[in-house]
Amino acid sequence: MSKKIMMSFALNGNETDVVVEPRELLIHTLREKCLHTGPHIGCETSHCGACTVDFDGMSVKSCTLLTVQAEGAQVRTVEGLAEGGVLHALQEGFMQEHGLQCGFCTPGMLMRAWRLLQENPNPDEAEIRYWMAGNLCRCTGYQNIVKAVQYAARKLRGEAVETSHPLMTAETH
């Protein structure tokens, strides 16, 4: 029973083959076989979203997906966000707006926000909170995560961006 199966999927654009038992969860494959340890595990009831990756155009909780379901899929993790060493607008936004502290939820938050901004490039605060509700954070109280997503949205729309941090804004320099 439960013979191992070879699976092929694209991980951050790179063709990747893994051999897995059918019961192996995608999060474990990503972390333990592919050594992409940005996606984290924060629960076993599919609530926290720390394991969120982008999967064929969807934000998915990779703890609630079997790796055998990923045949032929396009999988993107936080490791695939920066290009040529330049941070993605979201990574910059989370840094500038202090949208992380311990950093454990951050890879999932970034990947969820990445898909959200493609679906809705100009979300208002209520929309950001509603469409990020599958991601729990223990540290930030969410306020600065909302600001970080707004910062990234502005930058991606080509608008000028500046941190909202009171000690960092232009007039206090």
Partner 1 sequence: MIPRPFDYHAPRSVPEAVALLDQFGDAAKLLAGGHSLLPMMKLRFAQPDHLIDLGKVAELKGIREVGDEIRIGAMTTENELIWSELLQRRCPLIVEGARQISDPQVRYRGTLGGDISHGDPGNDHPALMIALDASFVLASAQGERVLPADGFFLGTYMTQMEPGEIMTEIRIPIPAAGTGYCYAKLKRKTGDFATAAAAVTLRMDGPTVSSVRIALTNVGDTALRATAAEQVLSGRNFDEAAVDEAAHLAMSICMPVSDLRGDADYKTAMAGEMTRRALLSAYARSAH
Q: Helix axis angle, 89-96 relative to 106-119, nearest 10°?
A: 120
Q: Is 131 in the site for partner 1 (CB under 8 A)?
A: yes
Residue of 37, 64, 122, 169 interacting with partner 1 (CB under 8 A): 64
Q: Is 36 in the site for partner 1 (CB under 8 A)?
A: no
Q: Compute CA distances 126 → 49, 123, 147, 159, whole Å.
A: 19, 8, 12, 21
Structure tokens at 97: 């707006």
Q: Is 147 in the site for partner 1 (CB under 8 A)?
A: no
Q: Is 113 in the site for partner 1 (CB under 8 A)?
A: no
Q: Is 17 in the site for partner 1 (CB under 8 A)?
A: no
Going across the sheet that includes 14-20, the strands are 14-20, 5-11, 74-76, 52-55, 58-61
Q: Is 160 in the site for partner 1 (CB under 8 A)?
A: no
Q: Single out the segment in contact with partner 1 by CB under 8 A; choices: 77-85, 91-99, 131-139, 146-154.
A: 131-139
Half-sphere exposure of 91 (CA within 13 A, CB side): 12
Q: Is 41 in the site for partner 1 (CB under 8 A)?
A: yes
Contact residues for partner 1 (CB under 8 A)?
Answer: 1-3, 5, 21-23, 25, 41, 44-47, 49, 52, 58-61, 63-66, 68-69, 71, 112, 116, 130-134
